[in-house]
A and B are shown apart, each in its own frame.
Chain A
Amino acid sequence: MDRPTSTEPLVAVRDLAFYRDDRPIFEGLNLTVAKGSVTAIMGGSGSGKTTLLSLIGGRLLPIRGTVTVAGEVVGALSRKALFALRRRMGMLFQSSALLTDLDVYENVAFPMREHTRLPETLIHDLVLMKLEMVGLRGARALFPAELSGGMSRRVALARAIALDPMMVMYDEPFTGLDPISMGVIVKLIRELNDALGMTSIIVTHDVAEACTIADYIYLLGNGRVIAEGTPADMKKTDAPEVRQFMGGLPDGPVAFHYPASRYLDDLLMANQS
């Protein structure tokens, strides 16, 4: 699949460092997301993928380095400017994060009501258009508690694109879905990206899905990018870290065991006490 994507970067991460309780999450991270592309950010659990989205969205601030989105350095913005930038970003949370006291229609209308003074008839039409795109126009009167996991993620997607953002960030969009819902989400991400001229960043550990839709893949590990390239490049590479991740091997450069003292010592300690 060869699609014309501009090489102009929409998001640029330069020499980023971020610590959580003195534990380094990122150390010298560099990556670029081209405008109009679907970029997958992959890595094992705990490699800081979700943290990266929070840094791009300005919910966390880096210790060192910069995150630039659409030419603006996220960490240096005032709260007002940050909120203005966020209006142009959509984000899909793993938990969907729908407002449980509002129905599907009102959830999608929520960003429009908060940020625009559009007349009610226009909001009505826009909400139905967004819901039609994700195939849930018929579910508009349901409440989040009545939706399946796949449906609530689609509603969250409709909400994320409610204000026609320049970019949507997806946090683990494929996790916990049945194969059909997964296929629907995969198709939607690609189609919406191309039809609406957006840029998409997908944080995921699902190798097969990421390879299907991504134009470019970054593999994170030890706080850095350990490999990058198109899906075809990534499959071909010989680097052991990449092969372990792409092939789903239980042991390799990423150890099966969490760091611990010697097994025998541990067992003997228990006998002594």
Chain B
Amino acid sequence: MIRGLGRRVISGVSRLGHATFFLARLMPALGAALTRMRLIVQQLYMTGVLTLVIVVVSGAFVGMILALQGYNTLVRYDAQSSLGLLVALSLTRELGPVLTALLFAGRAGSALTAEIGLMKATEQLAGMEMMAVDPLSRVVAPRFWAGWAAVPLLAMIFSAVGVIGAYIVAVGDLGLDGGVFWSQMQSGVSVSNDIMGGLVKSVVFGFVVSWIAVFEGYDAKPTSEGVSRATTRTVVSSSLAILGLDFIMTAFMLRGL
């Protein structure tokens, strides 16, 4: 059993090494891709805009649930006027970045992996290479940039929609005062700490999820089974990476480092 565990750790570490080498090879292509914004914008539409619906709907529900649950607890201490603050802090610092990244990994990350993996399986990447076109800068880099940029943008939308959802429940259903809801939020949420902290997290998540997605796609075995495994790995590794990194970043941020 210990041997099996050791083997798993070694294969995990060597995979991380492969992914890092891949990232190093991708670096020059990333610069080249910036000169062709059209491709990035196209991918931003494919990954970002098409993920918008699921992010907006989830954000609204999460905000509404937070309002219900938060009210339930706060009302015991007669502190329900802080509901707006509670919801806003939870969303901007934690739930917005984390849930958006998880949704993004499931919706867009898996699609990125499958797309690149299938392009490899159908020799499209090899074909490009033979046409003297570098698939890293033509295919992978624009998708990586777009995914990286999409996650923070989507996380902000998630948090904003969540706050609106909470407002609807709190003021419309639970009978809280709208003015108190907003003013508590305005005085309690700090832009430099809470909002920027959340933004930093989602930038990191965007980088990691996009990296995992394009690496798994590019590294996939060029068969149907290989692509399906790679897609699964993208979602699983991304989710674990998001939660693990979130813990580390939260620990550092709360200690003021």
Contact = CB atoms under 8 A, between A and B. Distances in A.
A95 B133 CA distance: 18
Contacts of A111: 131-133
Contact of A59 (B129, B133, B134): B129
13 contacts: A86-B131, A89-B130, A91-B130, A93-B127, A94-B123, A95-B123, A97-B124, A99-B127, A100-B122, A111-B132, A111-B133, A114-B132, A114-B138
A143 interface: no
Contacts of B126: 59, 93, 97
Given A84-B132, A89-B130, A97 B123 contact: yes
A50 B156 CA distance: 50
Contacts, number: 49
A87 interface: yes
Contact of A86 (B124, B130, B138): B130
Contact of B127 (A83, A84, A89, A97): A97
A57 interface: yes
Given A87-B131, A94-B123, A97-B126, 10 more contacts: A59-B129, A86-B129, A95-B122, A98-B127, A99-B128, A100-B119, A111-B131, A114-B132, A114-B133, A114-B138
A153 to B, nearest CB: 13
Interface in A19-74: 57, 59
A110 to B, nearest CB: 7
Interface residues of A, number: 20
A111 B138 CA distance: 12
Contacts of A93: 123, 126-127, 130
B67 to A, nearest CB: 42
Contacts of A100: 119, 122, 124
Interface string A200-229: 000000000000000000000000000000
Interface of B: 119, 122-124, 126-134, 138
Contacts of A115: 132-133
B132 A91 contact: no
Interface of A: 57, 59, 83-84, 86-87, 89, 91, 93-95, 97-100, 110-111, 114-115, 159
A89 B127 CA distance: 12
A92 B111 CA distance: 28
A165 B122 CA distance: 23
Contacts of A59: 126, 129-130
Contacts of A159: 131
Contacts of A110: 131, 133
Contacts of B129: 59, 86
Given A93-B123, A97-B124, A57 B133 contact: no
A87 B132 contact: yes
A263 to B, nearest CB: 31
Central interface residue in B119, B124, B134, by most chain A CB within 10 Å? B124
A95 B124 CA distance: 9
Central interface residue in B119, B122, B130, by most chain A CB within 10 Å? B130
A112 B127 CA distance: 15
A50 to B, nearest CB: 11
B192 to A, nearest CB: 42
A110 B124 CA distance: 12
A95 B122 CA distance: 7
Contact of B132 (A83, A95, A99): A83
B132 A97 contact: no
Contacts of B133: 110-111, 114-115
A63 to B, nearest CB: 21
Central interface residue in B126, B127, B129, B134, by most chain A CB within 10 Å? B127
A263 B150 CA distance: 61
A202 B78 CA distance: 83
Contacts of B127: 91, 93, 97-99
Nearest to B134: A83
A95 B132 CA distance: 18
A43 to B, nearest CB: 20
A150 to B, nearest CB: 17
Nearest to B130: A91
B47 to A, nearest CB: 14
A89 B119 CA distance: 21
A97 B129 CA distance: 11
Contacts of B131: 86-87, 91, 110-111, 114, 159
